[in-house]
Amino acid sequence: MPRIAGVDPLRQKDILVLVVDDEPDLRDLVEFNLRQAGYRTRTAAGGAAALAEVARERPDVLILDLNLPDVSGIEICRSLRAAPATHDLPILMLTARGGEVDRVVGFEVGADDYVTKPFSVRELVLRVDALRRRLSRAAGAPSVAHQKLRAGRIELDVEDFVASVDGQPVQLTLLEFRLLKFLVEARGRVRSREALLVEVWGYSTEVETRTIDTHVKRLRDKLGDAGDAIETVRGVGYRLRS
């Protein structure tokens, strides 16, 4: 995987990305390219070190390997999602475990994105860009001509990955935002579980999982009483009332 120089040299300089992987060469490669892209970076070689780094300074984006020598990436992700200070931390899993079941488990414990090794460094940086764009309002970046989607009391800012109900922001993970966006775009029409698996999670329809139901429940809870607009269509999937 070649190093990429000169990739959009000024992005959000104040955005910190923590790279957690036990392979020194891979850590160096990812860190180099993220810095070239304008990010601050820190690294950790294991799970315990990663949790210590998060406690020392909460990163804005976490790139997390699953196969770590001490604490597994799954346990780290589950722990961070359970903690109030890091429950909404954008997490990108970067791992050699690319099977469908591995992806399902990763998303079920709260990953926002999942990239398998070997990978394109350019694509990885672009995915980090997508995760950090949801931070742009908090960072003070200007919002110009952003696409807005509305469905009843729910509004989505597609560029900043911000959801709101009655004008009040709702803290969603990137995956939850993609799920809500997919439903809003089809408001009034049923989205099958198969379509959700492919379009939101990005894997084949051959996997039988409760992942979708779990995430829909979490999404409803976060939307409060506005979450009642997401209807379950038995035996098919979900629909957002128009």
pLDDT of residue 135: 58
pLDDT of residue 50: 94
The single residue listed with the structure tokens 């997390």 is: 64
16-133 — its CATH code? 3.40.50.2300
Nearest alpha carbon to residue 114 among 211, 12, 33: 211
Q: Do the Cβ atoms of 173 and 90 come closer than 8 Å?
A: yes
The pLDDT averaged over each successive group of 10 residues in the chain (242 residues) is 38 80 93 92 94 94 91 91 89 78 74 83 85 60 64 86 87 83 90 81 58 84 92 90 78
How many Cα atoms are found within 13 Å in the side-chain-facing hemisphere of 153?
13
pLDDT of residue 100: 64
pLDDT of residue 227: 92
Tell me the pairing of strands 113-116 and 91-95.
parallel
Query: How many C-beta atoms lie closer than 10 Å to residue 190's C-beta?
Result: 14
pLDDT of residue 56: 94
According to CATH, the topology of domain 148-240 is Arc Repressor Mutant, subunit A (1.10.10)
Q: d(Cα 199, Cα 226) in Å, to the nearest integer?
A: 23
Domain extent listing, the chain: 16-133, 148-240
